Amino acid sequence: MARKAKGCAGGLLVVVAAGLIGYAAGRLSPRRSRCPRIPAVNQAAPPPDSVRILYSLDERQNDRQLVSLIDAAKTRVYFAIYEFTLRDVADALVRAKRRGVDVRGLVDARESVKPYDQPVIAELAAAGIPLETEHHPDGEGIMHIKAMVTDTAYALGSYNWTGAATRENDELLEIGTDPKLVASYAAILEKLLSAYQGAPVKKPAAPTVAGDFDFTQAPAHIGQFASVHGTLVDAHRTRSGTVFLDFCATYKGCPFSGVVLSSDAAAFGDLSRFAGQRVKLTGRISSYRGRAEIELSQPSQITLE
């Protein structure tokens, strides 16, 4: 039932970018799909004055790269991120805070109050990590940066800290250790953290549930926050740890499924215990390759009927 890997539409861009910028990002060797492969090795301490450019779908582990850098931080972790739903990255930031690292973050005012960002925002706030919120005077701008700086390294690019950006989207993540660049990015983040200090993250209003639908009706309600019910056939865990909740005997052709990312799976326990029972999943219905799905990040989103 594992999903087929996405095409590598952004592959040419990676090659061109690597050529123009002149950064060594590992030896490129074409796959059978003729997509460039940039090996991504988790490095807690990247070599001095080095740069790595990672293409998200080569390894689907950009989140692990961030966790590795955070776990190695000794004095500081400053970050600014537009979308943030990855619990493993949040857990790493909390660990850093607990061992005495100066951890501070900046989030977008509109994005940070959305239901799917809130579990991570709440975890960081509960750990005492200061989170500032952008507040542009004209009320129009957004905080669209996706960057992190530690004592010795920076990580930035198009990569939002989400499951979709990790396993589905074409994204670039640059990790470097040049001292001048580390200092430059740190100065920018410090400037923004100071400028936006005192604008607390807003508490979101409870989302309105659009309705209660059978799983066969879910595709007609893409984009809505709703409850979807049906008899769970199977809870399948992939090698990467992601769990898919199946409502059909075969995944192919099924109109709906539930998804629990590997970073959240431990909180749910063994979901196969619900097999053969009628369950209700509540959350925002999204679309993945023409099929409806709800991504679950909290156990309260699945209930027995």
Using the predicted structure, report yes or no on whether residue 207 has a pLDDT greater than 90: no
Total count of residues recorded for the chain: 305
Q: What share of the chain is helix, strand, coil (3-state, %, to 5)?
A: 30, 25, 45
Q: Quick check: pTM over 0.85?
A: no
CA dihedral of 165, 210, 203, 116, whole degrees rounded to 10: -20
pLDDT of amino acid 139: 65
Tens-place pLDDT, residues 9-44? 444 333 334 443 343 333 333 333 344 444 445 556
pLDDT higher at 2 or 231: 231
Query: Hey, which of 114-118, 174-178, 207-211, 237-241 has the most confident mean pLDDT?
Result: 174-178
The pair of structure tokens assigned to 150 is: 């530690």
pLDDT at 28: 38
Residue 182, pLDDT > 80, answer: yes
Pick the range with the lowest mean pLDDT from 42-56, 60-74, 176-190, 207-221: 42-56
Average pLDDT, the chain: 83
In one-letter notation, the amino acid at residue 199 is: A
- From the number of C-beta atoms within 10 Å of its C-beta (0-12, 13-18, 19+), residue 207 rates as middle
Average pLDDT in the 125-132 region?
A: 93
Reference 120, options 269, 264, 291, 255; nearest CA is 264
Q: Which amino acid is at 23?
A: Y
Q: In the chain, what are the domains?
A: 20-35+45-195 (3.30.870.10), 212-304 (2.40.50.140)
pLDDT reported for residue 43: 59
Segments in 1-86 forming alpha helices (H):
11-21, 56-59, 62-72
Q: Which one has a higher pLDDT value, 178 or 28?
A: 178
CA distance 175 to 43: 10
Q: Which residues, 6 or more positions from 256, have their beta carbon under 8 angstroms from its beta carbon?
A: 215, 216, 218, 219, 228, 230, 247, 291, 292, 293, 294
Give me the mean pLDDT over the 188-208 stretch.
76
The pair of three-digit structure tokens given for residue 252, joined into one six-digit string? 């192919």
Instruction: Tell me the per-residue pLDDT of 144-157, one tens digit each, with 9 for 90 and over.
Output: 999 999 999 999 99
